[in-house]
Chains A and B, each alone.
Chain A
Amino acid sequence: GAGVSQSPRYKVAKRGQDVALRCDPISGHVSLFWYQQALGQGPEFLTYFQNEAQLDKSGLPSDRFFAERPEGSVSTLKIQRTQQEDSAVYLCASSTDTGHRQPQHFGDGTRLSIL
């Protein structure tokens, strides 16, 4: 069956531009997570949705980061006025579970490079 799909796979933007990253989770998965992975680090939590509700956005590094999941399916992570420190791999994951007793299913990630 189809897994988690993320697009674009690679994104290069100039500093100051806005970018939008898309995540298409596994159909029927209630939970959706966004992570940021910097070089040499593990994935770091950004935000969590349960259906269309954003229940936790404590990991978003600044108000330039915004995420939405308006219909409880596809999610978009938007970064406004990008900075060089935003360069990272952005991972999306979905799960059937609303807790953490089931595994998360990850997409391939979007590698964002800010010039």
Chain B
Amino acid sequence: ILNVEQSPQSLHVQEGDSTNFTCSFPSSNFYALHWYRWETAKSPEALFVMTLNGDEKKKGRISATLNTKEGYSYLYIKGSQPEDSATYLCARTLSGNTPLVFGKGTRLSVIA
């Protein structure tokens, strides 16, 4: 069993603030890392799939980095907006044939 840890568990920021949170995982046998955004009463939405050490991906104001050697990924949100309020989940897998293992998520609340 590999443990995916996310921190912080929850976060409150003011509108306009930039923020970041962390996904940590055992660095051995890395295959892929997924980030999802899950808004209340909606379905989880894919943000990024990252596979290579040093990967950096961007989608609008949201970006992510990946360090497979030390076992972490950062998610950054620039200029947070109230609509960014959601739970952000990361998940990693050891191979294409093994299931995704999710962290517990970081719950972000952006206050207008």
Contacts and interface: CB of A to CB of B under 8 A. Distances in A.
Contact of A3 (B43, B99, B104): B43
A41 B104 contact: yes
A104 B100 CA distance: 10
Nearest to A40: B104
Nearest to B34: A103
What size tier do the contact residues of chain B reach? 20 to 34
Contacts of B99: 33, 45, 48, 56, 58-59
Contacts of A98: 96
Contacts, number: 65
A111 to B, nearest CB: 10
Interface stretch (B14-22, B44-52, B62-70, B76-84): B44-52
A90 B97 CA distance: 22
Interface in B32-48: 32, 34, 36, 41-46
Interface residues of A, number: 29
18 contacts: A3-B43, A40-B104, A42-B91, A42-B102, A42-B103, A43-B44, A43-B102, A45-B99, A45-B101, A93-B44, A99-B96, A99-B97, A100-B100, A101-B32, A105-B46, A106-B45, A107-B43, A108-B41
Given A56-B99, A91-B44, A105-B46, 10 more contacts: A42-B89, A42-B102, A43-B91, A48-B99, A100-B49, A101-B32, A101-B96, A103-B46, A108-B41, A109-B43
Interface of A: 3-4, 33, 35, 40-45, 48, 55-56, 58-59, 91, 93, 98-109
